[in-house]
Chain A
Amino acid sequence: MNYKYFILGGLICFLSSCKQEIHLTKIEGKRIEINDALSSDKAVEEYIKPYRKHIDNDLDSVLAYSTDTYSKTNGNLNTAIGNFMADAVFELSNPVFKSRTGNDIDMVLLNHGGIRSILSKGNITSRTAYEIMPFNNSVVVAELKGNYIKDLISYLQNSKRAHPISKLNIKLDSNFELIEATINKESIDVNRTYYVATNDYLYNGGGGMTFFKKSDSLYDLGYRIRNLLIDYFKKVDTLSPVIDDRFIQIK
């Protein structure tokens, strides 16, 4: 039989250590689209099912009701959806911060770009919070001297965007020059230290908020904004936020 010669040949090769090198001769490369023309592996599909069911049940249980549809594009220097977010951050973070440090949060600043979806009229679920805030950013409180609060205000003046704020009020004239800025209805004291709640992304310079680099110290609440929104939805029955006068331009 032929195989005996194969073995013999192999043995001679082995004993005499004749070196047979392997050479790469041809490469073929392509990509294959994963689409509905492919069948689904049943075992994998079955394995995913309970995980999917748990998430769907949890995400789709109704937590609150929104009386209208709110978009971040609806409003000039402040929006209803942004106001609700910044106010919710204050309302739920301040008790945590106060219990841990004895201090109160003076103001909140988030970013307009961080509102990732509209808030639709009707039932609000946890899925709503995932849509509005898909990122895992958490609340941090930065200590900022009053003179750096001025930089924060200049940033808002220059950006001319409805970055969500709470407890801070800004009034601009027709040329976007500052008429008045207050925190908790009091004028800003350049020598005072303010506690500014924001998220860790912005604190680390995200969105170009470089003034946070001047912060003396930072308190990380480790409270994810998304979880905060879910907690807020559980707390309230109905959401009907409004555009108000916290950041306005007098024309």
Chain B
Amino acid sequence: MKRRNFIQQTAATTALVTLGGLGLQSFTASKTKKITILHTNDVHSHIDPFGPNDARNANKGGVARRASLIESIRNENPNTLLLDAGDIFQGTPYFNYYGGELEFKLMSMLKYDAATIGNHDFDNGIDGLFAQLPHAKFEFVSANYDFSNTIMDTHVKPYKIFNKNGIKIGVFGLGIELEGLVLKKLFKETKYIDPIEISQDITRVLKEDKNCDLIICLSHLGYHYRNEPEIISDLKLAKATKNIDLIIGGHTHTFLPKPTIEKNIENKNVLVNQVGCYGLYLGKIDFYFDSKKNKTAEGASIIV
């Protein structure tokens, strides 16, 4: 009897959430919702774990292990997003033999939700990337690559909005300047747009027009360039923009033991994270939402 009532209650709640566009749970004063963001970057075709004799990463990494870890986290919290910040391709013979097919197929098996495009994802040319798209059952997001004069046109969206348990999560992508880094014959007519300017536009759309509760940037710009501080990086982006809650980075293969907390242009906190490379780590950020009316002035507490 208890169970039946519970199911009825749940069903009624769900219906109302859909109907009203606002949480019934939110009416019950202090119901907490948890969103888990899992992320990788610069996996570089590292499908198998490193062998026992590897000098640096012995017995670390491996897609099959990552799969079981992700599954256990999803079982714990179904409101989970799995994201990748680019450079999926290049680094083992898997890429040379299959051109990224297996990488995309496995990411689809692991139910990745979105990825952005790294410079090495152009290594078989923009045509090589395009050819593998049918194997990817997840979205590619990039706001600052203009693909309109390329074969990738319409296949990459600037952002994607996910709805998890009534929480709207906007995820947009940023890529690195390709000129001088990737051969022109590979990236062809892909145009690079200034990341800060486009981020200001996109975050405004996501926050004001789309009413996102959480905004995540998938960036392949690189964490920070100590010797060339004028180059755009994740830390610079965090400081120069607003409304971004989390920047998931890549490119510089930076192993951050914990996320960096940066202040944005409005002096609000932005988390910047990156988990090195080769699938050696999985990043996990949990966001807790509350529907209490009295919002705390300090904003969210951050435990890293």
Contacts and interface: CB of A to CB of B under 8 A. Distances in A.
A127 B92 CA distance: 11
Contact of B69 (A11, A34, A51, A130): A34
Interface stretch (B131-139, B146-154, B192-200, B286-294): B286-294
Contacts of A251: none
A208 interface: no
Given A14-B16, A51-B98, A59-B93, A27 B291 contact: no
Interface residues of A, number: 51
A19 B93 CA distance: 55
Interface in A13-32: 13-14, 19-32
Contacts of A19: 22
Interface string B1-41: 00001001100110010011011101110001100000000
A26 B301 contact: yes
A71 B147 CA distance: 44
B219 interface: no
A41 interface: yes
A41 B293 CA distance: 43
A9 B13 CA distance: 11
B106 A44 contact: yes
A33 B280 contact: yes
B284 A31 contact: yes
A19 B32 CA distance: 17
Contacts of A1: 5, 9
Nearest to B300: A24
B303 A34 contact: no
Contacts of A38: 65-66, 68-69
A22 B291 contact: yes
B287 A20 contact: no
B262 interface: no
A215 to B, nearest CB: 15
Contacts of A47: 105-106, 109
Contacts of B299: 24
Q: Is the interface of B mostly helix, strand, loop or mixed?
A: mixed
A2 to B, nearest CB: 8
Contacts of B288: 24-28
A36 interface: yes
Interface in B261-287: 271, 273, 275, 279-287
A25 B296 contact: yes
B59 A35 contact: yes
B13 A22 contact: no
Contacts of B258: 29-31
Interface in B52-71: 59-69, 71
A130 B5 CA distance: 63
Contacts of B185: 220
Given A34-B65, A38-B69, A6 B13 contact: yes
Nearest to A37: B65
Contacts of B60: 33-35
B213 interface: yes
Contacts of A2: 9
B113 interface: no
Contact of A29 (B27, B33, B71, B302): B302
B300 A40 contact: no
A54 to B, nearest CB: 7
Contacts of A24: 213-214, 245, 287-289, 299-300
A189 interface: no
B16 A34 contact: no
Contacts of B279: 34
Given A20-B23, A28-B288, 6 more contacts: A2-B9, A20-B27, A28-B302, A42-B64, A48-B47, A136-B124
28 contacts: A1-B9, A10-B13, A21-B291, A24-B299, A25-B296, A26-B301, A27-B287, A28-B285, A28-B302, A29-B258, A29-B259, A29-B271, A29-B283, A29-B285, A29-B302, A34-B60, A34-B61, A34-B66, A34-B279, A43-B109, A44-B63, A44-B64, A44-B67, A47-B106, A47-B109, A48-B64, A55-B97, A226-B96
Interface of A: 1-3, 6-7, 9-11, 13-14, 19-36, 38-45, 47-48, 51-52, 54-55, 58-59, 127, 130, 136, 200, 204, 220, 226
What 4 A-B pairs are tightest by C-beta distance, nearest first? A41-B67, A40-B64, A3-B9, A14-B20
